[in-house]
Amino acid sequence: MTLATRQIPMTNAPDADAADVRSTDVLILGGGISGLSLAHWLRRDNLDVHVLDRNAQPGGVIGTLRKNDFLFERGPNTVLDKYDSFDDLLAGAGLDGEVLRVPLRTQTRHIWLNGRLHPVPMSPLAFLASPLLPVAGKLALLREPFVARRDDDETIADFVQRRLHASWVSNLVTPMVSGIWAGDPARLSIAYAFPIMKALERRGGSLVRGAWLRARDRRRGAPSADAPTTKARKHLVSFRDGLQRLPAALAEPADPQRK
C-alpha cells in the first residue's frame, strides 16, 4: 500500500498530468482511518491499493502532538475496542506490543451540570438517584416502550427527544456526543453516528425491548440479529506514542512478513 499526498479535485480535472497516470486495483481517496483500514483489508486480499490524501500526514482528524514530556491529542484520543476485527487490524499493523488498554467498566464518566461534576449513572439505582435528569426525564423511560417506531433517519437530538425527553438531549446526549464525535446532536444522523440505537428500535420497536432482546441473544450465545456481535469485555485503547501510531503504522509500506 502507498500513501501519496495529492489534493483530489472534487470535479473531473481536464488537465490531469498524463505522465503521472498509473494503474492500480483500488484507489482510495482520503488517508484517514476509514481509508487506511479499508486499504489494509483490501491488501490482505492481495490487491494493489493506493491511498491519496491532500495531507502528508496520514490519519485525517487523528493527530498526536508531543510537547515536552506530554502527549496531546488534537482529535480522537481513544478507540473503543469492541469488535474482534480491531484485534486483526492491530496485529496487521504490527502494533500488538504498543497497545494501552483500559477496561471500559473501570471508567467513570462525569458530566458538569449546575456547577458540579456528576457521575454518569451506570446502574438502574444510580439512574434513579442521579441529579442529571429531572423527574420527567426519568419517567420518560417508562413511556419509551410505547413510543411508535420510526424507520427513516433523523438527527440524534430528534431521535432521543422523540423516544425519551428533551432533558436527555441537553444533559446526557450532548456532552456524550461532543466527547465521541465533537459534533452537534442536532445535525448528526442517528443511523450513522449510533447505528446500534436505530437497530435496537428497529428490532424491538423500542430501545428498552430492543436492548432486552439483544441481552437475551448474548445470554444464549447467539449472534445478534440486529448488529454485529460486540466483545463482552470492551476496552478503551490507545498507544504509548498516542493514537496517531495507528494510522502511521497502517500507512507504512507493507511488510511482506506481516499478514
Number of residues that bind ligand FAD (CB under 6 A): 25
**Complex with ligand FAD: residue 39 or 200, whichever CB lies closer:** 39
- When computed from its CA atoms, the radius of gyration of the chain, rounded to whole angstroms, is 22
246 binds ligand FAD (CB under 6 A): no
**Complex with ligand FAD: residue 83 or 127, whichever CB lies closer:** 83
Closest CA to 4 of 54, 43, 44, 47: 54
106 binds ligand FAD (CB under 6 A): no
156 binds ligand FAD (CB under 6 A): no
**Complex with ligand FAD: residue 90 or 141, whichever CB lies closer:** 90
Q: Which of 30, 121, 145, 205 binds ligand FAD (CB under 6 A)?
A: 30
Question: Backbone dihedral region of 147: left (phi > 0), alpha (psi from -120 to 50 degrees) or beta?
Answer: beta
Contact, 250 vs 53, CB < 8 A? no
- Supply the minimum distance, in Å, between the C-beta of residue 62 and ligand FAD: 5
* Contacts to ligand FAD from residues 71-90, by CB under 6 A: 75-79
How many angstroms separate the Cα of 147 from the Cα of each of 22, 107, 128? 55, 32, 21
Residue indicated by cell numbers 451540570: 113
Contact, 96 vs 246, CB < 8 A? no
Going by C-beta distance under 8 Å and a sequence separation of 6 or more, which residues neighbour residue 141? 164, 208
Burial-class residue 216 by CB neighbours within 10 Å (0-12, 13-18, 19+). Answer: exposed
**Complex with ligand FAD: residue 141 or 194, whichever CB lies closer:** 194
* Contacts to ligand FAD from residues 37-76, by CB under 6 A: 52-55, 60-62, 75-76
Closest CA to 140 of 113, 159, 168: 168
* Contacts to ligand FAD from residues 158-217, by CB under 6 A: 180-182
143 binds ligand FAD (CB under 6 A): no
- Supply the minimum distance, in Å, between the C-beta of residue 259 and ligand FAD: 23
224 binds ligand FAD (CB under 6 A): no
Footprint on this chain of ligand FAD (rule: CB under 6 A): 7-8, 10, 29-35, 52-55, 60-62, 75-79, 180-182
